[in-house]
A and B are shown apart, each in its own frame.
Chain A
Amino acid sequence: MSTKLINTLCPFCGVGCGINLKLDSNDQLVGVEPQKNHPISQGKLCDKGWSTAYAITSPKRLTQPLKRVNKTFYPISWQEALSTISEELQGVIEQWGSQAVGLISSARATNEDNYVAQKFARAVLKTNNIDHCARICHSPTVAGLKQSLGSGAMTNSAKDIFSSDLILVFGADPTENHSIIGGQIIQAHLQGAQLIVVDPRVTRLAKLANQHMQLKLGSNIALINAMLHVIIEESYFDKTFIKARCDGFEHLAQHVKSITPESVEKLTGVSAQLIRTVAKAYSQAKHAMIFYGMGITQYMSGTNNVISLANLALTCGHIGKAGTGVNPLRGQNNVQGACDMGCLPNVYPGYQSVDDEKAQEKFSQAWHTEVVKAPGLTSLGMSKAALSGNFRALLLFGEDPAVTDPDQNQVKSSLKNLDLLVVAELTLTETAKLADIVLPAASFAEKEGTFTNCERRVQKLNQALAPIGQAKGDWQWLQALAKEMGSEQLNWSNSEEVFNEITSLTPQYQEMNYQKLDDNYGLQWPCTNNSPNGTAILHSTSFPIGKAKLIAVNHSDIDEMPDEDFPLQLTTNRLHFHYGCGSMTRNSPLLERETPAGILFINPIDADNLNISHFSAVSVKSRRGYLETRAILTNDVPLGLVSMPYHFKEAPSNQLTNTAQDPVTKMPELKACAVIVTALAQGKIPKTIEQLQQES
C-alpha cells in the first residue's frame, strides 16, 4: 500500500496526462492513479499509463555504465565511461572533423535534456548533427504546416474537441495511440458531434463514425484535392476568410478544377458520392476540427499530405477558432518539446533557423562560443554517412533506432560501422546492445523537468524517486561529459536553471517559469509578453507568416506497389497496449500477455486463400527483409492489405519497410510497401529475428 503520492506526468504519448505515482514506505513505486483535476486527462488514464509502475521498476533496468568488449558488456565507473567517451570523441574530431560526430536525442526526455543535448552538439562538439525521432513521425508536420501556416504545431487544444460540431480524423488511430484524446472524441461524438474517419483500416473510431472513407494507401492528396474540388465547385468555401487571411486561392482553385471525385474513385477506392458528402459536411459544419497522425506523415508525400490538410482547413475557414484547426497527434510525450528545443539539424531552440545570420549571432553570444555554420545531418543522414565512413561517432539517448527505424538491417550495419556508439538507456535495448559504452539513464520518475504535450502545453515533471543505482539524468551526464572534454559551456546546478536559459532564448517560452507552470497545470506556447498566460488557439487573428498560403500539391504514387512477387501491401499500425519499441510497456505482465510477441493483421479472405488460420505462424517477406510472426485474422484490414505493429523486437516490421523518403524532410515511407505472406508448417513456432539472423 502506498504511503506517498507524487503528482507528475504520464511518460508515454503526446497527450500529456496527469498521473500520480504511489510510493510505499520503502519508496518503491507500487502503482499509479490518474489526476482527477488535470485539465486534459480529467481523472482518466490509458492502459499504458495504468501500467507505468511496471515500465520503470523493471528488473532489467541498467544501474551502472557498461563497456562492450566484443560481445560482452563489463561494468565500469562513470569516470572511466566519461573519459573513454571524451577521448574517443576528441580523437574522431581531430582526425575527421566535427562533421563526423553527432547526437540523437529523445522525444521521451525532458525539454531540459533536449536543450542541453543540442547545446552540447552545437557549442561543445561544434556540429549541427543533432536530430531525434520526430524525423520518423512528424517532421512533415513541422515542414508542411510551417509553409502553410507559419507554425508546425497543433493549432488548437484538446478541450476544443468539445466545442467542435464535426471531427475529421485523418490517418490517425487515436483510441489506440492517444487513448485519452481518442476517448474524448468518442465522448464528443456521443454528445452529438459528427465523426468522420479517413483510414485504410477499420479503426475503433471508424466503427463508431458517421462516415468512414476507407481510402487506399497513399491516396490522401488525391482524396483531399477532390474534396477541395467539390468545396470550390459548390461554393462551400469561406470567401471572407480566404480573402482576408489566405494567399494562393486562385491557383489552388485552378489546380483542383479537373480533379473531380469521379476522377479519383479508382485511385482512392472511395466513392465519388461519399467524397461529395464528406466535403459538404466538413465545409458546412460551423466548427470542424481535423486530427491527423502517421497515416498522413509517414509517406514519401508526407509534407505535401500535411499541406493538403492545411489547404482543406483554410479553404473552409476552419482555423483560428475554438473547435477547429489542423491538429497533428504527436507520438511521444515530448516530441513537441524536442522539436521546440531545436533537436533538429536545421533549427535552434524556438525554430530559429541555423542558416539565419542573426540567429547564429544570437546563439554564439548567448553560449559564449562561435556556433558552427555548416548544415547538420538528419538521423537517417547520419546512418548513411556512417555506412560510407564519413560519420564516426554517435551519442544517443532514449531511442531505439535498431527497432524503430526503417530497414533495420541497414541501420544496424551503419551503427556497427561507427568508431564510437554511446547509448544512454533504461534497459539494454537492441540499439544499446550495439553500443561501445552504455550509460544507465534515469527514468521520468527519477528526474525533474518539463514535457511539452501535443497541444503545446509545457508541463512540469516532478521527481518521485532517487535514480536507480548509478543512473543519471541525460542533461546531467552530458554536462559531466562536457566538463570531461574541458568545456565549461554546460554549467547548471539544477533543471530550473536550465529551463531559465531555455526561456531566455526561446521566444515561444519567454514568459514561462517553473512556478507558473506548477500553478497552472502547465502553459501553452506561445507564452510571451503579449500572451503571458499562454495561447490555447493559434492563428486567431493572423498567421506568423502574415497570410496563410494555399499551396497546390499533386498526388504522387507510393514508391513500391504490390506486384506478382510481392502481392500484398503492408502498412504499419500501433496497439494501444504498447508504446514505441516496447521497452517500457512490455515489462507489464498484463500488457505483454495481450498479444503474441509479433503479429500480422490479415483479412480472413486473404488468410483463407493462403491457408492461414487465426494465430497460426506465417512468414512475411519484402525486398529488404524476412521475418516470422503470428497471424491475426480480422476484417479491420481490407482485402490485399496486411498490417503490422512495430513494437516487437522478435518480429519487427522495420525488417520489411521501405526507406524511400519524402524529399523535403527525409521522412521514410513507413506506411506502405509490398510483401509476400506465406503460411508456415502447422504447429511451427515463429522464429525471432535474432534466431533467423543467427541461422543465416
Chain B
Amino acid sequence: MKIYLINDLQRLQQHLAKNYQFHQVVTNSDGQCHWQQIASETTKPVVHDPLIYEKPQSSAKAFFFTEQEKVLVFNGEFFQETIPTPKPFVLFGVQSCDLTAIHYQDKFFKDDPYYQARRQQCLLVGLDCITPCEHGFCPTVNAGPGVKDGYADIILHPLANKQWLVIEQTNKGAQALKDLVFTETHWHYLTQRDLVLHQCEKEFPDDKYITDGIQKINSDEISSEFWRKLAIQCLGCSGCTTLCPTCSCYGTRAIKQDNNHFSQQRFWDSCLYEGFQREASFNNPSAEAGTRVQRFWQHKFGDEFFTEFSRHGCVGCGRCEQTCPGVIGIHSVMKRLTEERGQKNGQEDTNA
C-alpha cells in the first residue's frame, strides 16, 4: 500500500478523467449537492471543481442499483437478459457513510448480475470527512468519519495548505494511479490522519439516545402500541427508503408492448408501502403501519441483521431525518424510544 502527498488535486482529477467517466459531487445554483458527471474535453483538460465535504442529497447507490431498469426483454420468441455494459467510471470523493453503504450492498447484491456489472466497472475514490455534517452520526454506527480500510480503491485525506494524502487501498486503485508521478510519503502521515479523524469524532454532538435506542430495539421492551402511535406519522412517502443508502428493496413488473413483446422492469420499492407485502388474496402480514415502521427500524438496527452483514444496516448519514415529512427520521425516532422508557414508568407522553 503506497501513500502519496500531493499539492494539486487537479492533476489527479484530470488523470482519472482521461481513463474513466468522471463523477464528482458538485453544488448547483440552489446550493444543493449532487453527483454530476464531468464531461471530458478532447482538446484541453477540464478544470475540475474542488471537492465538497457536504454529503449529496442522493447517495451513490443508484450508480449500481438503478431507480428503474429493464432486466429482460421478450421479443415474441426468446427471453433475453439485459445486463448493462457501462464504461469504466470513477466516483471521485465518496464519503465514508456512503462507502460503507456500498460495501453493505456489495454483500446484498453479491449474486446480482445487473448490480455487479456496474460495480465491477467502478473505481471508488473515498474522501475522509474532517467535520461532522448535519444530522450525521457515522461514528456511532462505525461508518466514519474516516474511510474504512478496504471500502474504497483510493482514499483522499485533506491536509493543511491544500495538500492531500492519497492512500492506495486496492490493486484497482494502484493501477489507476500507476502512470502518475507522485511523491511517496512517510507512514507517519497516517498517524496524523488518525488524530484528525479522532478529533472530528469528538466534535459530533452527544447521541447517547441512539445507542440506547438500538439497545431498546433489540430488547423486546417496546410495545406494539408505541409503533402504532409512531406510525400515525408515517405518511407513506417512501422518502426514507429512497434516500437511505442501504435500502435495497425492489419490485418488478412486466411492461407490455405491441405485438406480443414485453420487457420486465425492476424499480425501487419501499417496505413502508402497505402493498409491499400484501398477497393477491388481500392477506397481509404487515397490514398495520406500525408493523411496517417497526420492521424498517428492525432492519436497520436488529441484531439478526448485524449477524448477517457484520454491521448495522444504518450508516449514520441522517438523510431520513432530513427528508421525513412526518418527523420520524432516525433522530426523532430514537429520541421517542428513549422517552418511551419514561412512559413505562407511568409518565405522560406529552406528544401522544
Contacts and interface: CB of A to CB of B under 8 A. Distances in A.
Main secondary structure of the interface of B (DSSP, over half): loop
B57 A7 contact: no
Contacts of A175: 235, 326
Contacts of B68: 30-31, 53
Nearest to A28: B68
B32 A35 contact: yes
A517 to B, nearest CB: 13
Interface stretch (A124-132, A179-187, A479-487): A179-187
Interface residues of A, number: 48
Interface stretch (A99-107, A278-286, A497-505, A586-594): A586-594
B232 interface: yes
B54 to A, nearest CB: 10
Contact of A3 (B36, B233, B267): B36
B31 interface: yes
B67 A204 contact: no
Contact of A5 (B34, B63, B243, B351): B34
Contact of A47 (B29, B30, B66, B236): B236
A179 B235 contact: yes
A194 to B, nearest CB: 12
A99 B257 CA distance: 45
Contacts of B57: 20, 33-34, 36, 43
Nearest to B255: A59
Given A59-B255, A589-B253, A34 B323 contact: yes
A179 B324 CA distance: 11
B239 A50 contact: yes
A589 B270 CA distance: 12
Classify chain B: how many residues form its interface, as a range.
35 or more
Given A1-B62, A187-B327, A50 B238 contact: yes
B323 A43 contact: yes
A34 B239 contact: yes
A594 B235 CA distance: 13
Contacts of A2: 35, 62
Contacts of A1: 62-63, 66, 118
A47 B235 contact: yes
Contact of B239 (A31, A44, A589): A44
B30 A35 contact: yes
A589 B255 CA distance: 11
A541 B303 CA distance: 60
B275 A594 contact: yes
B237 A47 contact: yes
A663 B65 CA distance: 56
A190 interface: yes
A37 B237 CA distance: 19
A251 interface: no
A182 B235 contact: yes
A485 to B, nearest CB: 37
A45 B237 CA distance: 7
A363 interface: no
Contacts of B30: 7, 18, 35-38
Given A183-B326, A204-B232, A208-B232, A3 B273 contact: no
Most buried by B among A1, A577, A593: A1
A50 B66 contact: no
A369 B34 CA distance: 50
B235 A207 contact: no
A576 interface: yes
A566 interface: no
B169 interface: no
A593 B118 CA distance: 30
A46 interface: yes
B273 A593 contact: yes
B286 interface: no
Contact of A590 (B32, B269, B326): B269
A2 to B, nearest CB: 7
A52 B67 CA distance: 12
B106 interface: no
A445 B269 CA distance: 23
Nearest to A175: B235
Nearest to B37: A3
A9 to B, nearest CB: 12
26 contacts: A2-B35, A3-B37, A7-B28, A22-B58, A31-B62, A33-B57, A33-B58, A34-B57, A34-B239, A35-B30, A36-B32, A38-B30, A45-B237, A46-B235, A46-B325, A175-B326, A179-B325, A183-B324, A183-B326, A186-B326, A207-B232, A589-B253, A593-B251, A593-B273, A593-B275, A594-B273
The 10 closest A-B pairs by CB, nearest first: A183-B325, A593-B275, A31-B67, A615-B282, A3-B37, A44-B325, A47-B237, A1-B63, A594-B275, A30-B67
Given A33-B57, A59-B257, 4 more contacts: A20-B57, A46-B325, A593-B273, A593-B278
